[in-house]
Amino acid sequence: MQVLLVGGGGREHALAWALSGSGLLGKLWVAPGNAGIAEIAECVAIGAEDVAGLVAFAQAQAVDLVVVGPEAPLTLGLADACAAAGIRCFGPSAAAAKLEGSKAFTREVTTAAGVPGAEWARFTDAAEARAYVRRKGAPIVVKADGLAAGKGVVVAATVAEAEQAITEIMEERVHGAAGAEILIEECLMGQEVSFFALCDGTTALPMAAAQDHKRVGDGDTGPNTGGMGAYSPPPAFTPEIEAQVMDRIIRPTLAEMAKRGTPFRGVLFAGLMLTESGPRLIEFNVRFGDPECQVLMLRLQSDLLAALLAACDGELDRFALRWSEEAAMVVVMAAKGYPGAYQKGSVIEGLERAAQVPGAQVFHAGTARDAHGSLVATGGRVLGVAASGATLAEARGAAYAAVDAVNWPEGFCRRDIGWRALN
């Protein structure tokens, strides 16, 4: 089987690594990939958002399956373009990808499906939004409706902070057109968990949960990032909670999407708050999380390619996934300055030594080879240093031993990944 994987981050390196272990795989291309992916697959210089270029390549190479990592090509219609060209694609249609692309759309769908979430209201008028915030009081959450690179959400501790956020998003348009409409939500309290379910349009198969660390600094301080580390499984996410999430959140959403004529195929990523009154939905994403995917792939024992094909072909009702009992952790190494401005081009050494730590697996996120063949940093999040272990404490020990083997003075990482489960 010939596979084209789209994307070039740590998530895609982890997916490429898992796909490489499949007995069904013949050839794997990754567009655009990165320096780590280039060691296990053939990278092709096509941007992840170049829908026409990706489809043309897939046709020319007789690709059997396109696997889409990030959300942007999905919202741009890559799955639809593949379908039109007769190529199987793992990932939802543009219409179903609206579950990530539009928060207001998601609220409509989940309200119709009776999914437990935050109380919410939507506004296109800033004065009305401010009046609503004053009436509800704080803490309260203000969100830009469209995609804002993960930065369109303000959890406001005071009414003044919420009003300020409304002004910035709607009137100053700091996130551009994404701020034409906003949502204002009740602030949910509890532990946050990322949960993943494989979907084929009608059947949903639970995968696993992971806990991400969104803030840049130890102790969950500083600005939000794409995610600075993750572990799986989170002890707070019990089998009872998983069953509730499947019954109250995932399956009703899948049924509602099918009813609307836009069935969801792909991986549904539920951002959940484990509140005192049970799990509640914060948001959906229509792809694997990054770095969550890295720990999921370390724990997955089933053939990933077979699972993705079953999702594409509507055969998940006959499929089962096996997971390791072991724990896994990933520590993200980022360029100093991230998520603000950072330098590119610094040299990274010591990955061979890191790879020798028992249980460790280093995934590349933002790396390339320079003219001399040296490994250099090309992004904000640069490496996902991952490890598995019999316990979470062992996985943490191995992950940080591997981090310490990496020689990259221009990089940094959090030192407390897993603290909620380990303290």
Rounded least distance, CB 37 to ligand GLY, Å: 18
Q: What distance in Å separates the CA atoms of residue 347 and residue 279, rounded to the nearest whole number?
A: 43
- Piece of 134-142, 239-247, 273-281, 282-290 that binds ligand GLY (CB under 6 A): 282-290
Phi and psi based region of residue 12 (left: phi greater than 0; alpha: psi -120 to 50; beta: remaining): alpha
Query: Binding to ligand GLY by residue 212, rule CB under 6 A?
Result: yes
Q: CB under 6 A: which stretch of 103-111, 256-264, 286-294, 389-397 binds ligand GLY?
A: 286-294
* Binding mask of the shown chain, residues 246 to 275, with x at each position contacting ligand GLY by CB under 6 A: ------------------------------
Write the interaction track for ligand GLY spanning residues 314-353; mark x where CB under 6 A is met and - where it is not: ----------------------------------------
Contact of residue 290 among ligand GLY, ligand AMP, none (CB under 5-8 Å per partner type) = ligand GLY
Minimum CB distance to ligand AMP smaller for 32 or for 139: 139
Q: Report the C-alpha dihedral over residues 135, 136, 140, 143, rounded to 10 degrees.
A: -60
| Residue count, binding to ligand GLY (CB under 6 A) | 7
Backbone angles phi, psi at 356, to 5 degrees: -80, -10
Residues forming contacts to ligand AMP in the complex (CB under 6 A) are 118, 141, 150, 153, 155, 185-188, 192, 214, 271, 282-283
Does residue 181 touch ligand GLY according to CB under 6 A? Answer: no
Partner touching 118 among ligand AMP, ligand GLY, none, CB below 5 to 8 Å by kind:
ligand AMP
Quick one: which of 34, 106, 285, 367 contacts ligand GLY (CB under 6 A)? 285
Answer yes or no whether residue 101 interacts with ligand GLY by CB under 6 A. Answer: no
Residue 152 CB, shortest distance to ligand AMP, in Å, is: 6
411 is an interface residue for ligand GLY by CB under 6 A = no
Nearest approach in angstroms of CB 292 to ligand GLY is: 6
Minimum separation from the CB atom of position 214 to ligand GLY (A):
7
Question: Given candidates 70, 227, 234, 339, which one binds ligand GLY under the rule CB under 6 A?
Answer: 227
Between 57 and 419, whose beta carbon lies closer to ligand GLY?
419
Which one of 290, 303, 326, 410 is in contact with ligand GLY (CB under 6 A)?
290
- Residues making contact with ligand GLY (CB under 6 A): 212, 226-227, 285, 289-290, 292
